[in-house]
Amino acid sequence: MAQQTQSAVVPPKITFWERFENNRNLLGLFLMLPTAALLVTFLAYPLGLGVWLGLTDTTIGREGVFIGLENYKWLFADSVFWLSVFNTFLYTTVASTIKFGLGLWLALILNQHIPFKSLIRAIILLPWIVPTVLSAVAFWWIYDSQFSIISWSLMKLGFIDQYINFLGEKNNARAAVIIANIWRGVPFVAISLLAGLQTISPILYEAATLDGANKWQQFRHVTLPMLTPIISVVMTFSVLFTFTDFQLIYVLTRGGPINATHLMATLSFQRAIPGGHLGEGAAIAVAMIPFLLAAILFSYFGLQRRAWQQGGGH
Amino acid sequence: MFGRKKEKETGREGMGYLSSLPLRVVTVYVPLVVFIILLLFPFYWMGLTTLKPDTELLDLNRFNPFWVTMPTLAHIKKLLFQTSYPRWLWNTMLISVLSTFISIFCAVLAAYAIERLRYKGSRFIGMAIFLAYLVPPSILFIPLATMVFKLGLFDTRLALILTYPTFLIPFCTWLLMGYFRSIPYEIEECAMIDGASRFQVLIKIMLPLAVPGLISAGIFAFTLSWNEFIYALTFISSSENKTVAVGVITELVDGDVYHWGSLMAGALLGSLPVAILYSFFVEHYVSSMTGAVKE
């Protein structure tokens, strides 16, 4: 009897709460709940829903019915869609390449011994901090067809004799949005690569110099191989952000002139929200996924491969 | 984690002293100055346009466009008193703060569970959360818009407060996992031997030690939600619920093209809060950005 009361009084206090607290799996599950709830409801589920919507003819205000691959067939024959695919690739390739080049250059400069280094680093990151939409508004004004400061300066310097139509002409508009994208992306690449550069030990450079390596050889055979892992991650992110860009285009050109700057993201928005064709818009968004995966895999593994080529081959 | 410390310890200059001053001017200072000028010019231009009266803005021949002769606050005044701008600022602030707090709360629990409890399948969940970070909003906004509509959240700020954590939590969790990893197990074990429960360990030991990480994650999350555009553009339709980014684009730009002054003022004022916040926590920001890349 006495034993029974003891086991009835003491253990219940231990059993539930303490056992729960000491069970990693249960407690882990419990702590994961808020995150899981939010991510499953607003990330995983919409991802699936998007794929489903792409297979229906849903419009705003009307539930769609399943129409199989009809949307994709339609898009396959749609020249505007293919133009947007082309634009997205052009935009991503050109902008990412230049961002990488300039970013690496800037990182190498910042890695030197210069006065006010942390202040300069802070200033350089500013374009990356401020809302893209708002800096895009500034670019919009800089690219204005009548009051552009670039046109004005070039005129005064005598390089051109009439104002440049930055956003109204096909290739000008493409160049203009790419430049704005580069302006915003270079700081991210530069500061991330700088962090990578700072982990390279100066001893390696000293050893290379003693072996008679010149500046270029040091860069080619010490800096680049040491930096490759971080380059691959930074560029994967950069490609990802550029490929899915929406804000810059929406503010600067809304895809115009004559769809010359439409990216897949902006086209998907235009068809789905102002156009009302949710199904078609979702199909375009889903069509981005394989391209996106390919782009990520390419930049990730492409650069990874170069890493062991450099490590093993030379 | 903080690059700066390392920098000082290892004598970063390396062999920089070997190159002569004229060479350094050409290879370092000239390109650096050009970079800084190009990166800052749009901000200068924003500020200048904000202060210029319309006559100066539209007459490039009588006035030098690179300077302002008669600065005016008229554009800012117009923005603050004749548009819903203050309301948009307040909305953006509210949405950013709340979604940041929700995200940090979820991320702390999740990161602790993944990194320290190591429950069954935690490796896999960790990877899944990293992959979730790679899902771009531009492929989610259409299905989310239909969900938001069905849930009756369309055109409410709650829609944004609930959806922003989807891109904030993965990032914050990933960052905090790195921070928790750097805290030695022994501290936790000591506290548990002294009779602390798991929750006490989390709240009284881990969190105070991870404060730099929490600040980094918070700043980064706040900036990301302040800058968010596509969800806000899609889910919000009435002027009083708009965020700054959406309000400036949709309401200040109307047929009349000559609103450049107030448009620039809107862009400038909308950028200031994040810029100020950032300037106070540069190191944290940089470490969170580069930390996330390095992991």
Lowest mean pLDDT among A199-213, B185-199, B214-228, B276-290: B276-290
Q: Kindly provide the ipTM of the predicted complex, given to two decimals.
A: 0.84
For residues A81 and A259, give the distance between their C-alpha atoms in angstroms, rounded to a whole number: 10
Do residues A272 and A235 share a domain? yes
Of the ranges A150-154, B99-103, B153-157, B247-251, the best mean pLDDT one? B99-103
Lowest mean pLDDT among A85-99, B8-22, B45-59, B164-178: B8-22
Contact B13 A121 (CB under 8 A): no
CB B217 within 8 A of CB B110: no
Do residues B13 and B119 share a domain? no
Do residues B63 and B97 share a domain? no
User: Number of C-alpha atoms within 13 angstroms, CB side, residue B231?
Assistant: 29
Place of tokens 């899902």: B135
Do residues A11 and A153 share a domain? no
Do residues A156 and A237 share a domain? yes
Alpha carbon separation from B88 to A130, B94, B236, B244, B269 (Å, rounded): 16, 10, 12, 5, 11
Do residues A280 and A152 share a domain? yes
Contact B119 A133 (CB under 8 A): no
B59 pLDDT more than 80:
no
Residue A63 lies in a domain: no
**pLDDT score, position B153:** 87
**pLDDT score, position B291:** 64
Contact A135 B271 (CB under 8 A): yes
Distance (Å) from the alpha carbon of B103 to chain A's nearest alpha carbon? 8
- Residues 6 or more apart whose CB falls under 8 angstroms from that of B71 comprise B51, B52
- Identify all chain A residues contacting B16, using CB atoms and an 8 Å cutoff: 112-113
Do residues A7 and A130 share a domain? no
Do residues A114 and A169 share a domain? yes
Do residues B234 and B113 share a domain? yes
CB A64 within 8 A of CB A278: yes
Average pLDDT over residues B254-267: 76
Structure tokens at B208: 């105070």
Q: What domain range is A7 assigned to?
A: 2-54
Contact B147 A186 (CB under 8 A): no
Q: Give the nearest chain A residue to B252 (CA atoms).
A: A137
The model's pTM is 0.85
Length reported for chain B: 295
- Identify all chain A residues contacting B102, using CB atoms and an 8 Å cutoff: 38
Do residues B115 and B239 share a domain? yes
Structure tokens at A131: 């809302």
Distance (Å) from the alpha carbon of A7 to chain B's nearest alpha carbon? 22
Do residues A50 and A74 share a domain? no
Contact of A166 with chain B, judged by CB distance below 8 Å, is answered with no
> For residue A59, which phi and psi values (nearest 5 degrees)?
-125, 170
Long-range contacts of A156-164 (CB under 8 A, 24+ apart): none
Spatial CA neighbour of B41 closest among A253, A122, A150, A241: A150
CB A139 within 8 A of CB A253: no
Structure tokens at B172: 């914050």
Do residues A50 and A189 share a domain? no
Residue A62 lies in a domain: no
Q: What percent of chain B has pLDDT over 70?
A: 89
Q: Give the nearest chain A residue to B282 (CA atoms).
A: A122
Nearest to A24 among B57, B118, B166 (CB): B118
Spatial CA neighbour of A288 closest among B171, B142, B174: B142
CB A253 within 8 A of CB A170: no
Do residues A47 and A180 share a domain? no
B35 pLDDT more than 80:
yes
Confidence of residue B295 (pLDDT cuts 50, 70, 90): low
Do residues A93 and A124 share a domain? yes
For residues A106 and A183, give the distance between their C-alpha atoms in angstroms, rounded to a whole number: 13
- What is the tally of helices (H) and strands (E) in chain B? 18, 0
Distance (Å) from the alpha carbon of A1 to chain B's nearest alpha carbon? 31
3-state SS class at B193: helix
Pick the residue of B139, B199, B222, B288 with the most A CBs within 10 A to test the interface with A by mutation.
B139
User: Number of C-alpha atoms within 13 angstroms, CB side, residue A85?
Assistant: 18
Residue A64 lies in a domain: no
CB A59 within 8 A of CB B146: no
Do residues B123 and B231 share a domain? yes
How remote is the C-alpha of A67 from its chain's centroid?
32
CATH number assigned to the domain comprising residue B282 = 1.10.3720.10
Structure tokens at A28: 């882990």
Q: Is B34 exposed, middle or buried (0-12, 13-18, 19+ CB in 10 A)?
A: exposed
pLDDT in tens, B138-158: 889 999 998 888 888 888 899
Structure tokens at A218: 């040091």
- The amino acid that residue A314 corresponds to is H
3-state SS class at B154: coil
Spatial CA neighbour of B218 closest among B169, B251, B256: B169
> Before B22, cis peptide (omega within 30)?
no
- Identify all chain B residues contacting A110, using CB atoms and an 8 Å cutoff: 32
Residue A60 lies in a domain: no
User: Number of C-alpha atoms within 13 angstroms, CB side, residue A35?
Assistant: 30
DSSP codes joined into one string, chain A: -HHHHHHHHHHHHIIIIIHHHH-HHHHHHHHHHHHHHHHIIIIIHHHHHHHHHHTB--BTTB---B-TTHHHHHHHT-HHHHHHHHHHHHHHHHHHHHHHHHHHHHHHHHTS--TTHHHHHHHHHHHHHS-HHHHHHHHHHHT-TTT-HHHHHHHHHTS-SS---TTTSHHHHHHHHHHHHHHHHHHHHHHHHHHHHTTS-HHHHHHHHHTT--HHHHIIIIIHHHHHHHHHHHHHHHHHHHHT--HHHHHHTTT-STTTT--HHHHHHHHHTTS--HHHHHHHHHHHHHHHHHHHHHHHHHHHHHHHHHHHH-
What is the count of structural domains for chain B?
2
Listed as ranges, residues in chain A with pLDDT below 70 are 1-19, 21, 299, 302-314
Nearest to A46 among B102, B147, B197 (CB): B147
Average pLDDT value for chain B: 83
Do residues A162 and A219 share a domain? yes
The dihedral over CA atoms of B279, B51, A185, B102, expressed in degrees to the nearest 10, equals 50
- The amino acid that residue A304 corresponds to is Q
Spatial CA neighbour of A124 closest among B230, B7, B289, B228: B289
Q: What domain range is B63 assigned to?
A: 3-72
**pLDDT score, position B12:** 45
- Identify all chain B residues contacting A49, using CB atoms and an 8 Å cutoff: 143, 146-147
Do residues B227 and B256 share a domain? yes
Do residues A7 and A97 share a domain? no
Structure tokens at A128: 């990356």
Lowest mean pLDDT among A242-251, B155-164, B192-201: B192-201
For residues B148 and A225, give the distance between their C-alpha atoms in angstroms, rounded to a whole number: 48
What is the count of structural domains for chain A?
2
CA angle (A203, A208, A209) in 5-degree steps: 100
Terminal Cα distance for chain A, rounded:
81
Q: What percent of chain B has pLDDT over 90?
A: 18
Distance (Å) from the alpha carbon of A2 to chain B's nearest alpha carbon? 28
Higher pLDDT, B221 or A18: B221
Q: Give the nearest chain A residue to B65 (CA atoms).
A: A149
- Residues 6 or more apart whose CB falls under 8 angstroms from that of A202 comprise B10, B11, B12, B14, B15
Contact B16 A147 (CB under 8 A): no
Nearest to A244 among B110, B138, B143 (CB): B138
Contacting A residues, span 259-288, partner chain B, CB-CB under 8 Å: 265, 268-269, 272-273, 278, 281-282, 285-286, 288
**pLDDT score, position B1:** 38
Do residues B55 and B82 share a domain? no
For residues A314 and B102, give the distance between their C-alpha atoms in angstroms, rounded to a whole number: 50
Contact of A85 with chain B, judged by CB distance below 8 Å, is answered with no
Contact B138 A265 (CB under 8 A): yes
- Identify all chain B residues contacting A122, using CB atoms and an 8 Å cutoff: 278-279, 282
